Structure 1
Amino acid sequence: MEHEHVVIAGGGPTGLWLAAELRLGGTPVTVLETRRERDPHSKALTIHPRTLEALATRGVLEPFLTEGRRIPSGHFGGLDDRMDFGVLDTPYPFTLALPQARTEELLEEHAHAAGATIRRGHQVTGLAQDEDGVSVEATGPDGPYTLRADYLVGCDGTRSTVREAAGIDFPGNDATTWGFLGDVVLDNPPREAVSAMSGPTGGVMIVPLPGGIHRIVGGDPDGTATGHPGELTLDVLRAKVTRITGSDFGMRDPSWLSRFGNATRQAAEYRRGRVLLAGDAAHMHYPAGGVGLNVGIQDATNLGWKLAATVAGTAPAGLLDSYHAERHPVGADLLRSTRAQTALMNAYSAEGQDLRALLSQLIATVPEFSRRLAERLSALAVTYPGPAHHHPLTGHRAPNLELSDSTDLFTLLRTGRHVLLHFTGTPAPTSTPHVITHTAHRPDPRPAWSTVRAALIRPDGHVAWASEQPDAEVLRAEAHAAASATHR
């Protein structure tokens, strides 16, 4: 029987990113992916600012920026007025439009370069876990086999075999409304880069894709149904779009036609013993705002360093349990947001249209309202709970602090280790195998950071500890204690 430290079921964006994160932490990892070839149909198109930051902290962002289309705004519930991402405190104040197929290809290259083993055409079929590990039943081109692993992570989608085999509940509700999607050629496309139209007859968004294709995605009152309404045809898509917009834009030659529902579920546990869940295996929802791929990658960013430290035997007590404690609330908030957006997208009555108009006007005229929505959608607002009497920054995502003329925080995070920052101008202690220390010779001008004298940043970019202690010796002792607590 083969033995692996970590087996990941599923080679989509979440599984591939997690594999690379584990390798960054020195953990051998094998990915089992059912598909022999990458799916040419891209369910996801959007990469959000916080995900772009995660890519930047590992030094792999550049090809995404080179190939993707930058969109400086985002929508909430398909409202007419869009949120301005330019006000966000990030080096990447935009969403990036890039087909999922290409995103997966880039992430697979990253995982391979990091040393991950990826087996295509291999599927997890069952598992049995005990105190010492997990026996993973799988099948591949040569038939069934068994892997013995320290841990198994299910990144295998909403119908997760790992989740079901582990006996983890997946409570929620079935679909009650259905949207439509078509990747087609348009002979007369809209002039706008991203075109959105909505009204009492439905809503449609049209986005250009590479290769002369346009994606049409939307919903209408006909989509209300408790069961799947059947396969989408080009004639049905044409009729829907014409009814909503007054034109079919010369659509022809569909490469993909699909329907999607608003079934909403969340795993009751993100960890059960030596089995963990991430991405769509942990949460399913209506694809409002294009958040699914992003939250999956952010799950993996939170889990990767914790699981690697656990496998290495250096994790402090409770570190792996903090994955569920931190990410399950984020998933629950995601479900609330997508439900709210689904309600707005399907608000076809006169009252619903007035609600949409009111909220859209608030986005256009109340900058703080628009900014808060944008921070939520982009995941820049995600905060994890901290210990009692912690500094207000603890648990928050750290921005890309400019530390000197030659380096910044995101660059220091590329090693996948904790980063201990000293803003005192005095030499920082020597780095250790677990913590990089760095002296910043000037305070950060951001109001929340301007009085911080030292801070410890986790490998996922969130603040583990911060202090404004004026006494240099006391500050040094507190920083040493914080750094020491990162490992056993």
Structure 2
Amino acid sequence: MNETLDVLIAGAGPTGTTLAIDLVRRGLAVRVIDKAPHSFEGSRAKGIQPRTLEVFDDLGVLDDVLAGSSDYPRLGIHLGPVTLPWRMFRNRERSTAIPYPNTRLMPQYHTDSVLHDRLDQLGGRVEYGRELVGFDQDGATVTATVTGDDGPERITARYLVGAEGGASAVRKHLGLGFLGETHDQDRMLIVDAVTTGLSRTRWHVWPGVRGRFVGACPLPHTDLFQWMIRLSPDEEPPDGEEAITRRIRAHTRNRRLAVRDIRWRSVFRPNIRLAESYRRGRVFLAGDAAHVHTPAGAQGLNTGIQDAYNLGWKLGQVLAGADARLLDSYEAERLPIAAGVLGLSTKKYEGLAKLDPSSLRRGQDEQQLTLTYHGGPLAPGDGDRTSTLEVGDRAPDAELPGSRLFDVYRGPHFTLVASGPKAAAASAELDWPAAGAPLRRITVDARPGFRSSYGVEGDTLLLVRPDGYLGHVATHDFLESTRAAVRTMTPGVAG
């Protein structure tokens, strides 16, 4: 009889692989399957937001991501003979609280590669050419039917996660509605190709009438551009180097431009959809399987990675014996975030058609650093807070003697941060279960960087969740209030 897995993941894109990395580093038995014959080869989702960089820091891939990416180039908006320079992002200096303040540019195939390499290092692997075609679940397990070159296989797991994109077979098998719309007449041709006659110092944009435009973004550390050609409703997408070159020249009026060595080509239709639920029983949805966005604002890939980061530690805790109701908080925390992001990316995309300058700007909303779970099931609104933070907020970085808080947070554990003698005493007295994610304790003196990042004004005890959000804040009743919060997220605490 086949061994029962902890988690089966369908889909090996950034969302599924992030989840796999987080689960494998917790010592769980995981399989990742993908129906594609090999890893994704296109540049598609290429913006990596600051909050995602923090996730990558925790997962051990940040150095590779920074080495393989670049800051976003300035736009060059071509208006006839005039080229207008335009800065999409205002580059910010790193601060004590935000060590990675700027969005990075990296083609999706490279993001996938970095994540797959990390999964391999941890002893996991992606099984390509294996398609999930159905599943059944009961109160204890999910049994999936998977097909491949060697025939069908039945895989039994305690949980199944569908992270296989907007056409998710898992979501369809669950019968969950995918609410929203698809603009079939609004299509964009995306092409990765070597290009002659174009400077690599700009992200070039040629606006056109009725919202048509052509854009070319240089992909870092390659000789490629990602071309974006918004098609007319009845236009047949050009195929091949000569046809695509003719289409680009017809729009730009620049006879020097030419594409060659096409590496990837796809026709994109804007989908704006949100699953009616992220969970049914022991089956979950994450990433594009749960929500699909327009490409504006670089939100889809990043939101999916945050889904995985939110779900991973909760699955680990419940598998270790925590109350299964902890898993209800996944949808409660993540679905409202996706709904807000859908509205943001849709507004940006619609602004492109109107040549609205604000649609070209990117700022704090897109960077996902201010997203909060406050008011959700793990962050009730009636608890203690600091002058700047409340339960459910992102835990910022802060400098420590010889290190920083993010160094302490890195890893699949909770962290208890005590400031002041009363908080330190409560921290030392708090019992922690042997099962599930461990606890790391640290006492921080009231140095200016920590005070300003965390708004701490007196004795304060902070419980930081494994995904870097505040799970509890205590400014009085330190021990009992923290124990109560811990019980909602762990297998059980003595005392």
TM-score, normalisation: structure 2: 0.85
Pick closer, same or farther for the CA change 1:447–1:400 going to 2, 3 Å. closer
Tell me the alpha carbon deviations over residues 422-480 of structure 1, each in whole angstroms, 9 at most, x when there is no partner.
Answer: 121646427844321111123414265232622111111111111333xxxx3344334
Per the alignment, residue 450 of structure 1 pairs with: 456
Task: Tell me if the contact between 2:17 and 2:119 (Cα under 8 Å) persists in the aligned partners.
Answer: yes
The structural deviation recorded for 1:26 is 2.5
Per the alignment, residue 142 of structure 1 pairs with: 150
Task: Tell me if the contact between 1:189 and 1:250 (Cα under 8 Å) persists in the aligned partners.
Answer: yes
The structural deviation recorded for 1:484 is 4.4
Secondary structure at the aligned position of 1:376 is classed as helix
Q: Match for 1:296 among 299, 304, 308?
A: 304
The structural deviation recorded for 1:223 is 3.3
Letter in 1 for 2:217: V
Tell me the alpha carbon deviations over residues 63-91 of structure 1, each in whole angstroms, 9 at most, x when there is no partner.
Answer: 1112211238899xxx9552314168521
Identity value in percent: 31
Tell me the alpha carbon deviations over residues 92-118 of structure 1, each in whole angstroms, 9 at most, x when there is no partner.
Answer: 122222222221121112112223353
Per the alignment, residue 103 of structure 2 pairs with: 95
Per the alignment, residue 62 of structure 1 pairs with: 63
Per the alignment, residue 90 of structure 2 pairs with: 84
The structural deviation recorded for 1:329 is 0.9
Written as runs of structure 1 = structure 2, the 5 A alignment for 1:207-246 is 207-209=217-219, 210-219=221-230, 222-224=231-233, 229-230=236-237, 232-234=239-241, 237-246=244-253
Task: Tell me if the contact between 1:232 and 1:258 (Cα under 8 Å) persists in the aligned partners.
Answer: no
Written as runs of structure 1 = structure 2, the 5 A alignment for 1:177-326 is 177-190=186-199, 192-198=201-207, 200=209, 202-209=212-219, 210-219=221-230, 222-224=231-233, 229-230=236-237, 232-234=239-241, 237-247=244-254, 249-253=256-260, 254-313=262-321, 315-326=322-333
Q: Does 1:331 align with 2:324?
A: no
The structural deviation recorded for 1:238 is 3.5
Pick closer, same or farther for the CA change 1:59–1:191 going to 2, 3 Å. closer
TM-score, normalisation: structure 1: 0.86
- State the distance in 2 between where 1:70 and 1:376 align: 18
Secondary structure at the aligned position of 1:86 is classed as coil
Per the alignment, residue 50 of structure 1 pairs with: 51
Secondary structure at the aligned position of 1:205 is classed as strand
Tell me the alpha carbon deviations over residues 357-389 of structure 1, each in whole angstroms, 9 at most, x when there is no partner.
Answer: 4x47xx9xxxxxx7xx62221111211132131
- State the distance in 1 between where 2:162 and 2:279 align: 10
Task: Tell me if the contact between 1:20 and 1:110 (Cα under 8 Å) persists in the aligned partners.
Answer: yes
Written as runs of structure 1 = structure 2, the 5 A alignment for 1:385-464 is 385=375, 386-390=379-383, 391=385, 392-402=389-399, 404-424=400-420, 426=424, 428-429=427-428, 432=432, 433=434, 434-443=438-447, 444-446=450-452, 449-451=455-457, 453-464=460-471
Secondary structure at the aligned position of 2:337 is classed as helix
- RMSD over aligned CA atoms reads 2.8
- State the distance in 1 between where 2:315 and 2:163 align: 14
- State the distance in 2 between where 1:81 and 1:211 align: 22
The structural deviation recorded for 1:250 is 2.3
Pick closer, same or farther for the CA change 1:72–1:483 going to 2, 3 Å. farther
Pick closer, same or farther for the CA change 1:111–1:479 going to 2, 3 Å. same
Tell me the alpha carbon deviations over residues 219-278 of structure 1, each in whole angstroms, 9 at most, x when there is no partner.
Answer: 3xx5346xx954555455445544554325522213333221112211111110010011
Secondary structure at the aligned position of 1:290 is classed as coil
Per the alignment, residue 481 of structure 2 pairs with: 478
Tell me the alpha carbon deviations over residues 158-204 of structure 1, each in whole angstroms, 9 at most, x when there is no partner.
Answer: 11111111222212112241122222222211252433343546333
The structural deviation recorded for 1:408 is 2.2
Per the alignment, residue 367 of structure 1 pairs with: none
Written as runs of structure 1 = structure 2, the 5 A alignment for 1:32-47 is 32-47=33-48
- State the distance in 2 between where 1:268 and 1:149 align: 24
Per the alignment, residue 114 of structure 1 pairs with: 122
Task: Tell me if the contact between 1:74 and 1:82 (Cα under 8 Å) persists in the aligned partners.
Answer: yes
Q: Match for 1:382 among 339, 348, 371?
A: 371
Aligned length: 458
Task: Tell me if the contact between 1:72 and 1:84 (Cα under 8 Å) persists in the aligned partners.
Answer: no
- State the distance in 2 between where 1:74 and 1:423 align: 46
Compare 407-416 and 135-144 and name the one that shifted more.
407-416
- State the distance in 2 between where 1:413 and 1:72 align: 32
* Unpaired runs of at least 5, structure 1: 348-352, 364-369
Secondary structure at the aligned position of 1:256 is classed as strand
- State the distance in 2 between where 1:466 and 1:50 align: 21
Task: Tell me if the contact between 2:10 and 2:163 (Cα under 8 Å) persists in the aligned partners.
Answer: yes
Written as runs of structure 1 = structure 2, the 5 A alignment for 1:359-378 is 359=358, 374-378=363-367
* Unpaired runs of at least 5, structure 2: 77-84
- State the distance in 2 between where 1:114 and 1:475 align: 37
Task: Tell me if the contact between 1:85 and 1:374 (Cα under 8 Å) persists in the aligned partners.
Answer: no
Letter in 1 for 2:369: L
- State the distance in 2 between where 1:270 and 1:154 align: 10
The structural deviation recorded for 1:411 is 1.7
Letter in 2 for 1:441: D
The structural deviation recorded for 1:156 is 1.0
Secondary structure at the aligned position of 2:227 is classed as strand
Secondary structure at the aligned position of 1:415 is classed as coil
